[in-house]
Amino acid sequence: MAVNPRDMDGFMPLLSTTDIKKKLNVGSLLLNYLGDATKSIECQDIGQFIDNIIPWLSNGNPKVVQNGLEILTFLADRMGHDFKPYISTIIQPTIDRLGDSKDATREKAQLVLLKIIEKGCMTPQQLLDRLRPAFNHKNAKLREEALILLTTTLNEHGADEMMLSGVIPSIVKLLSDPSEKVRETALNTLADIYRHVGERLRVDLQRKHNVPQAKLLLLIEKFDQLKAAGDLLPLAMSSDVGKISDETDRAVIKSAPVKRSAAPLKRGQFGPAKTSSSTLAQAGAVDEETFLTTFEDVPSVNLFSAKDLEEQMKIIRDNVGDDKKDWKQRTESMKKLRAIIIAGGTNYENFLENLKNVQRPFEVACTDLRSQVVREACITLAYLSQQLKNKFASFGEAVLLTLMNLIQNSAKVVATAGAVAVRFILQNTHCSRFVPIITSCLSHKSKDIRRASCEYLNLILQIWPTQILQKHVTTLQDTIKKGIADSDSEARAFARKSYWAFKDHFPEQAEALLNSLDTAYKRSLMSLSNSGSINSLNVVTRSASVSPSNIQTSHECYR
């Protein structure tokens, strides 16, 4: 067996080895070879070469499967349109891997399919046609990933590339799927389709499809929120729902692809920033909008003197920290603290000193068994950060780890309240002492907390000034490197995103970090940048920008 083949023909006889160690070694060598643009991919029979890779996708060793998928991605990228004749060979085995138990395998399978579309070897509609059986597959993971891939393709290529009406019945059926993740993903998929096609979808769901009433109400809430927020794309805004007109009179604006700022849209970022608060309330979760509308929904308070302030703060301290008192009395005391700020309490010199006295009671409240107490504590802490900015640093440092630990809670209201509170604190209070707390959470056994840690790391790298981050350059380097290798695909995606934000602050250290990565992780990081999946990793684009060339008369995309 050759140690290091010099061309593709040299690799050909090695691909069929059944020895796992040899197969892994061949895979690593081949990936290094394909990753070098100066190396030729010509061989005597490229079709046979690809045929020999297909069995890798059903191998019992996950790393062999992942290597096989990555090899196909490289071949599709380098061969371009010449890869098209081999699509029929690789498409079904790749789709099957969308249901794999390993996050990394599912992610790499998606990348193969997205690369095939990107290179023009398959249209989005052709992929949708091949995906349809997956929506009814017995494997819940495959059903979920098929929805995610549909959403990603829709956002990358636009609704005018697919006949979406044909797949709506399958998505509606998944709203009642036995798997909670599948149900949630189906709901989010319909919301994303609405962003592209607009009111036509709402009308069809109400008239043509048997949507369970509870689910229909959730969808209507989501649709209304998206419309009110201005998140509908131009094509959706141009739909003439309910209006009968000649085809020649109906001008439709082409749907512009939505370029995402990270990996393909997965199961949603931690604590959604923009979702209908009433929808989330029904689901038991809270979001930033919930916090903002609740911040000042408090009874009025009158302050007459510094002494009066001190006495009221003592009452708040005693109530909030006493878990034997009625929970309503404790939550009302938290609201009273917000009311004191609204009434001008921060103008008194003794306010910050008195605020220190309620620090410990709030730590206790954040771990209370009643979700209502935890929710109100999180809202109040977020409000304190918003109003006090960096004066909240010491308080924030004391509660930050406690809030992070809430994220793994099985109660949605607790988990999302903790997640949103952390986001508010990091957005409004920039303190270098927060960095070690956030980065330490990447060692947590909970993937939810690790994922959140990577998301928050990306957040502070995007919005904090360089001088605050300077003290922890080495820690940030190590954390990004660790995140890129995390077992959770979303944590890895946020870590890769963090790398590019880190590079904006510390280009030399980022280069050193890149050079220290294993070849596979380096390829993953660089292929994300080079593939066109993202244009700017540190700018989140809420909707696509549409140039004049995007506006044209065409057939209705939602057929």
Q: What is the pLDDT of residues 477-504, one digit of tens each?
A: 999 999 999 888 899 999 999 999 999 9
33 burial via Cβ count (<10 Å: 0-12, 13-18, 19+):
buried
Q: What is the CA radius of gyration of the chain?
A: 26
User: Which conformational region is residue 389 in: left (phi greater than 0), alpha (psi within -120 to 50 degrees), or beta?
Assistant: left
Q: 244 or 463: whose pLDDT is higher?
A: 463
Q: Which CATH class is domain 284-426?
A: mainly alpha
> What is the CATH topology of the domain spanning 8-235?
Leucine-rich Repeat Variant (1.25.10)
Q: Give the residue among 512, 496, 528 at the shortest CA–CA distance from 70.
A: 528
Average confidence (pLDDT) over 118-122: 89
Q: Which CATH class is domain 432-527?
A: mainly alpha
Q: List where CATH 1.25.10.10 sits in the chain.
A: 8-235, 284-426, 432-527
Residue 528 has a pLDDT of 58
Residue 6 has a pLDDT of 87
Taking the alpha carbons of 66, 138, 146, 419 in that order, is the dihedral positive or negative? Answer: negative
Asked which of 94-98, 187-191, 306-310, 526-530 is least confident by mean pLDDT, the reply is 526-530
Q: Against a cut of 0.85, is the pTM above it?
A: no
pLDDT tens track for 241-288: 333 233 323 223 234 444 333 333 333 334 433 444 344 443 457 888
Asked which of 14-28, 129-143, 249-263, 428-442 is least confident by mean pLDDT, the reply is 249-263
At 320, the amino acid letter reads: V
545, pLDDT greater than 50: no
Dist CA 197 CA 235 (whole Å): 6
- The string of DSSP codes covering 34-81 is HT-TTS----S-HHHHHHHHGGGGG-SSHHHHHHHHHHHHHHHHHHGG
Dist CA 320 CA 363 (whole Å): 10
SS3 518: coil
392 contacts 429 by C-beta, under 8 angstroms: yes
